[in-house]
Structure 1
C-alpha cells in the first residue's frame, strides 16, 4: 500500500511537470532513494521522490478490537494502523554537462517550484477528483499532502546521515494511510444473556 501511494503521487507530479515544461515524453520525476552505493541515486536532470520516514498516527487510533460479522458472530482482530509518510522531493541538477542549460542549478529550482505549485493547487486526492488513484489500490480513499518545515539542524542531520552534499529539496507529510489486514484472532458467538447466581449464608 505504501508503494501504491508513492507511485501514484510520482505519476501525478510527472504529468503536471511535463505539462509545465512542454515536453510530454521526458520523465521528470522518479520514485527513488536519495543515495545508493555510487552516490546520488536520483537520475541526473530530474527530480526524485523519496520516502525518508514512516510515522504512526496516534491521534485517532482505533481502540476497538471486537466486531460483529455479517452472520452475527463476534470476531477479534487487531486495531488498524494509521501511518503518515514523510516524502522528500529533491532536484538533482548539478551542472554535470557543460553548455547544457537543462542541467543547471536554476533549472532544478524551476522544476522543484513546479512540484511545490502542484501540491499547492491540489493537496487532497480521492477517487472522485483523481480517478487514477483506484487503479493503484482500491482501498485508498483519501490522501492528504502537507508541506512540512524542518529546522536547519534537522536538515544538516538528514544530509549527514544520507552521506551526500545538500541538494535543493522540499519535504512533505503524506497522511493518513490506513492498514488493516483483517486477520481474525478469535471468533465466537456473541453473549446474549447474563445469568447471576446469588449465594446466601444461613
Structure 2
C-alpha cells in the first residue's frame, strides 16, 4: 500500500503539472533523492521520495473482535495506521549552460504548482478521487499536511540524505491504513447468559 499510495500521488501531481504547463510529459518521478553518483532525480524534473514512516498512535484502533457476515466473531490484530513523510524536490540545475538561473526559476515554478495542488485539495478519498480506488482499492483516505522544520533540522535532514540542498517541500501523508486479513482465532458470539441455571446450582 505504501508503494501504490506514492505512485498515486506521483500520477496526481503529473496530471496537474501537465494541465498547468500545457505539456503531456512527466515532470515528477518517484525516486530516491540521492545515490552513489549524487542527485538521483532526473535533471529538469521533480522527485517524490519517501523519507520516513511513523505509526499514528493517537487514532490507534484498540478493537480486536469483529463480527463477520456469518455472525461469527473474528479476532484480528488491530489495523495499523501509518503517516508517510514525503519529500518533493526540484532538480533544475542544468550544468550544460552558463547561466542556470532560468532552470532555477523553472524549478521554483513547478514546485509552486505542487503546493497549489495540495492547497486546493489536501484530502483524497474514493468519492472525490475515483482514480485512487483504481490504483489500490485498499486505500480509503489520504490527508496531506505541509510539514515545516527549522534550519537546523533542515541541515541535519539533508546531511542524512547525503546530497546538497535542493528547493523542496515536505508533506506528511496521514492515515494510511494497513489491515492484514489473517485471523488470530474465531468463535460464535455469546448471545445470552443463563443466570437462572446458575442460581439453581447454588
State TM-score, norm by structure 2: 0.91
In the alignment, the residues of structure 2 paired with residue 60 and residue 161 of structure 1 have an alpha-carbon distance, to the nearest angstrom, of 30
Which runs of no fewer than 5 residues in structure 1 stay unpaired? none
Q: Is the 8 A contact 1:53 1:87 kept in 2?
A: yes
Q: Report the Cα offset of residue 103 of structure 1.
A: 6.5
More moved, 101-110 vs 36-45: 101-110
The corresponding residue for 1:74 is 73
Q: Report the Cα offset of residue 21 of structure 1.
A: 1.8
The corresponding residue for 2:95 is 96
Q: Is the 8 A contact 1:45 1:103 kept in 2?
A: no
Q: Is the 8 A contact 1:96 1:103 kept in 2?
A: no
Change (3 A) 1:47 1:189: same
Number of aligned residue pairs: give it: 199
RMSD between superposed Cα atoms in Å: 2.0
Per-residue CA deviation, residues 146-190 of structure 1 (Å, 9 max, x unaligned), is 111111111111111111110100000111111111210011223
The corresponding residue for 2:138 is 139
Secondary structure of 1:177 counterpart? strand
Moved over 3 A (4+): 99-103, 194-200
Q: Report the Cα offset of residue 68 of structure 1.
A: 2.0
In the alignment, the residues of structure 1 paired with residue 116 and residue 157 of structure 2 have an alpha-carbon distance, to the nearest angstrom, of 24
Change (3 A) 1:194 1:65: farther
More moved, 44-53 vs 66-75: 66-75
**1:190-201 mapped onto 2 (5 Å cutoff):** 190-191=189-190, 192-193=192-193, 196=198
Per-residue CA deviation, residues 41-98 of structure 1 (Å, 9 max, x unaligned), is 1101000000101111111111111122222222111000111111000000113221
In the alignment, the residues of structure 1 paired with residue 86 and residue 135 of structure 2 have an alpha-carbon distance, to the nearest angstrom, of 18
In the alignment, the residues of structure 1 paired with residue 131 and residue 66 of structure 2 have an alpha-carbon distance, to the nearest angstrom, of 32
Q: Report the Cα offset of residue 40 of structure 1.
A: 0.9
State TM-score, norm by structure 1: 0.91
Which runs of no fewer than 5 residues in structure 2 stay unpaired? none
The corresponding residue for 2:15 is 15
The corresponding residue for 2:31 is 32
Secondary structure of 1:144 counterpart? strand
Secondary structure of 1:13 counterpart? helix
Secondary structure of 1:104 counterpart? helix
